[in-house]
Amino acid sequence: MPEILIIEDDIPFCKLLERFLQRHGFKITTTHSAKDASSRLQATMFSLIITDLRLPDLSGIQLLENIKKTHSNVPVVVMTLHAEVTSAVTAMKKGAFDYIAKPFTPEELLLVIKSALSSGRGTQSIQNSTDRIANSNRQHSVGIYGISEAAKQLQEYVQLVAPTNMSVLVSGESGTGKEVIARQIHDHSKRAGQEFIAVDCGAIPKELATSAFFGHTKGSFTGATEEKLGHFEAANKGTLFLDEIGNLSYENQIQLLRVLQERNIKRLGSTQEIAVDVRIIAATNEDLKRRVYQGKFREDLFHRLNEFSIEMPSLRDRVDDLSLFCYHFLEKANEQLQREVQRFSPEVEVAFKKYRWPGNLRELQNVIKRAVLLTQGTTIEKGVLPDPLISETEWDGNEENAIFSKMEYEKKQILRVLEHTNFNKTEAAKLLQITRKTLYNKINQYNMDV
């Protein structure tokens, strides 16, 4: 059984990673500081190390350098924020096997772990990791379809294109469920038993894109201490989902076009061509035709990707599906938060119908999860909804009263979430959907003794 060391000072997040990876068959050791990690490394030989770049007593880069001096054969994966692209590149140059940007999905984490473990292990280990990822993907794709006309047409398109090998371009606003539809296409195709690999093109730094897509050989660049499997090889015989395809640089677009034309790849640092059989599903929230016209996206690549197009309807265009999605997300939130909330009050249902949902299904899911966390009984009331929903449905014309009520409401909600997280401000900020800096400002504003 592979043993993984996780180094993460965000204790709730670390516990979450530990439980998730244990369920997928890994033996997990956790620590919250570089000093303790060094002690554990002296006592135990780990198969893989996953570390955050920001630690309380030492930077992740310094820790990485120390690990590579004494445990050069152990792959190290660093966790970064999306804004820390430069740090991620530095980590790769210092010997990190790979990086993963927060927030990441369970599938992304398992894919990175699979690639890291396979770099120095036998084929049986690779297959075991592959099976775990495939099972996780199939579980993740379970959802609901809806009953609106837009939902019915969407499912008709899925059933029509899924059995083919056509490339599909899924477009639509952020949060409309483009990846869910991509998974449904995969699950209804002849490739259903193979890998579904999802890649966020917007999260891949230009400097690392070639290695991410095609892999690299040992010694191909400074810091490449092991071979790495790229996304195309990982998705061989299966489906590769390229989310936010419009964010790829022009150079990377050329590389992608060549692979789609020739169906061969070369790992970075190698001259050997490797045949790949991969179905491409791409997604975008931009107008790619406009980007083609502007010269920012290759027209030939656009046509390669757009063999069949699907336009995702916004939640505003699926009013008949709103109630179904609400109770679906309510059930998921209850399971995740171990609550037993059963219904929405009539006022909440009215507020949901009036609101325009600019963030679509993703926003609806987040609002419901937050409401379940803040609800004390079995019914979600209007008072636990975020300000945008309240302001659209509650206005008595008295601005002073409205401001006072909002401040009292906000103060109570902050305190309630802090208590729920044992006053872990990082976790509380995540649940409140604000930055840590904003949370500290609010605490000071309301003179909260926490």
DSSP 15-70: HHHHHHHHHTT-EEEEESSHHHHHHHHHH---SEEEEESB-SSSBHHHHHHHHHHH
| DSSP at 281 | E
In whole angstroms, what is the distance from residue 204 CA to residue 143 CA? 28
What residues contact 322, with CB distance under 8 A and at least 6 apart? 315, 352, 353, 364
Residue 367 has a pLDDT of: 92
Residue 96 has a pLDDT of: 86
pLDDT digits (tens, 9 = 90+) for 296-336: 999 999 999 999 999 999 998 888 889 889 988 998 899 88
pLDDT digits (tens, 9 = 90+) for 73-88: 899 998 876 545 567 7
- pTM value is 0.61
- Averaged pLDDT, 383-408: 57
**Is residue 133's pLDDT more than 70?**
no
Domains, the chain, in order of start with CATH, read 3-135 (3.40.50.2300), 141-313 (3.40.50.300), 316-445 (1.10.8.60)
